[in-house]
Amino acid sequence: MNIKITALHFKADQKLESFIAEKIEKLTKIHDGIIGTEVTLKLENTEKPENKTVEIRAKIRGNDAMASKTAKTFEEAADEVAEALRKQLLKIKEKERGL
């Protein structure tokens, strides 16, 4: 599976990239039809401390699952996005089995 990580307006360190890749690898255990993922890391220009956004798009045969979360740290946002995608993937898998 192809994992593409893009950091907008900053350079993501290797530790963060491997943390996100690990979260995505866990998602493949839920749905084996994931072809690839696109991860976008953004620093929002706000006064709030919750200014780090992680957006993940999982490419699946037939349709895509996408989630975006903002938190104080990229790791926290990645955890929340992975959980949201996990729920979406479970629903997609149920629909596929129901057909």
Structure tokens at 51: 């200014």
Domain ranges of the chain: 2-98
Q: Burial, 49: exposed, middle or buried (Cβ in 10 Å; 0-12, 13-18, 19+)? A: exposed
pLDDT tens, 40-85? 999 988 888 889 999 999 998 878 899 999 999 999 999 999 999 9
pTM, entire model: 0.88
Structure tokens at 84: 């949201």
What is the rounded CA–CA span in Å between residue 10 and residue 13?
10
59 — alpha (psi -120 to 50), left (phi > 0) or beta?
beta
- Record: fold of 2-98: Double Stranded RNA Binding Domain (3.30.160)
